[in-house]
Amino acid sequence: MAVAQCPASCGELIQGWIMGSEKLVSCPVDWYSTVEVSAGPPRVNERPLSRAMVNRLLAHWGYPAHLSQGIRIDIHSTIPVAKGMASSTADIAATAVATAQHLGHDLNESTLAQLCVSLEPTDSTVFRQLTLFDHNDASTQVACGTQPELDLLVLESPQTLRTADYHRIPRQAGLDAGAPALKRAWEKVQEACAERNPWRLGEAATLSAIASQTLLPKPEFDSLLSLVEECCLYGVNVAHSGSVVGLMLDRKQHDVDYITWRLEEKKLTAHWPVQHLLRMVAGGVERQ
């Protein structure tokens, strides 16, 4: 049996029109999809994209297609689906690395990213470092330095939106309007990693979140911004193609219980009734 795991993402640190196309930098957090690949018949209720990844890898290395029917995929994940937490990327990326191991191969990050985008738009959680990534064709892969340490109070909404449906929404005018803000946000991400500065990363994420309001607005967004200021948090990040929001903080310095209480006082829990306190972690798929 071969086993691999890939982290979820709390939306994106930034996403928008940068250097000539839409790109993103994901926000990996300590919530994982773990995939086991072994010899055996396929499960009846397996996830279609994970099977598609197995087939893609067999073709990539020139194996007969019928070998797919002797490969079993078991996915263990509680990552919320269709909320902007990169659940699908985590599944297919971990499937790819576990399948490669099962077949006796290695996959580098760039090849993994190209395989993933051949199936669907992909989050940059497939990279160990924070990476500016063209999530549609993998043509841009710009790694940053060492990421700052921080936590996120992830606000989970009952609202769902499939990534494929989001990409059908006409967005070019909004992307063009947000391009100057995203240029500054990308510069701040690079500064944040060079300096390991969580405040700078929060500034970048907040700029991108504000720009995203013209594309996929989050309810009571001004109230979220006022909470960030009131509690002196690093910033706010959002799922640009989903419903989750992240309050960027340090659990050792910020009073998380007070923040949670203020969310209730401001009636923001009506939109985000579930919260998760998570660490931002390194991305990348790890073999177990």
Over its length of 288 residues, how does the chain's per-residue pLDDT go in tens digits? 999 999 999 999 999 999 999 999 999 999 999 999 999 999 999 999 999 999 999 999 999 999 999 999 999 999 999 999 999 999 999 999 999 999 999 999 999 999 999 999 999 999 999 999 999 999 999 999 999 999 999 999 999 988 777 877 888 999 999 999 999 999 999 999 999 999 999 999 999 999 999 999 999 999 999 999 999 999 999 999 999 999 999 999 999 999 999 999 999 999 999 999 999 999 999 999
* φ/ψ bin of 55: left (φ > 0), alpha (ψ from -120 to 50), beta (otherwise): alpha
Q: Do residues 248 and 205 make contact, with C-beta atoms less than 8 angstroms apart? A: yes
Q: Do residues 155 and 246 make contact, with C-beta atoms less than 8 angstroms apart? A: yes
User: How many Å apart are CA 110 and CA 139, to the nearest integer?
Assistant: 10
Q: Do residues 3 and 61 make contact, with C-beta atoms less than 8 angstroms apart? A: no
Buried b (16+ CB within 10 A) or exposed e, 118-129: ebbbbbbbbbbb
Q: Do residues 55 and 172 make contact, with C-beta atoms less than 8 angstroms apart? A: no
- pLDDT at 241 (0 to 100): 95
Q: Is-above-0.85 flag for pTM?
A: yes
Q: Do residues 220 and 155 make contact, with C-beta atoms less than 8 angstroms apart? A: no
- pLDDT at 162 (0 to 100): 81
Domain count, the chain: 1
Helix (H) or strand (E) holding 227: helix 221-230
- What tokens were used for 251? 């659990």
- pLDDT at 168 (0 to 100): 79
Domain that holds residue 185: 2-287
The CATH number given to whatever domain includes residue 204 is 3.30.230.120
- pLDDT at 260 (0 to 100): 98
Q: Do residues 84 and 244 make contact, with C-beta atoms less than 8 angstroms apart? A: yes
